[in-house]
Amino acid sequence: MQSLLKFSKVIDAISERMGWLSTMIVILTVAIGFYNVVARYIGRFIGMQLSSNVFIETQWYLFSLVFFFSFGYILKNGINVRVDFIYTNWSKRSKALLDFWGHLFFLLPYCLLGIWVTINPVITSWVQWEQSPDPSGLARAPIKSMIIVAFVMLTLQTISELIKLWAVIRGQELFVADLEAEAPIRIE
In tens, the pLDDT along 11-22 reads 999 999 999 999
pTM of the model: 0.84
More confident residue, 89 or 116: 116
- The letter for the amino acid at 14 is I
Sequence spans of domains, the chain: 2-181
State the Cα–Cα distance between residues 89 and 183, nearest whole angstrom: 32
pLDDT of residue 188: 46
Mean pLDDT of the chain: 89
| Torsional sign, CA 144, 146, 149, 151 | negative
User: Which tens digits make up the pLDDT trace of 71-80?
Assistant: 999 999 988 7
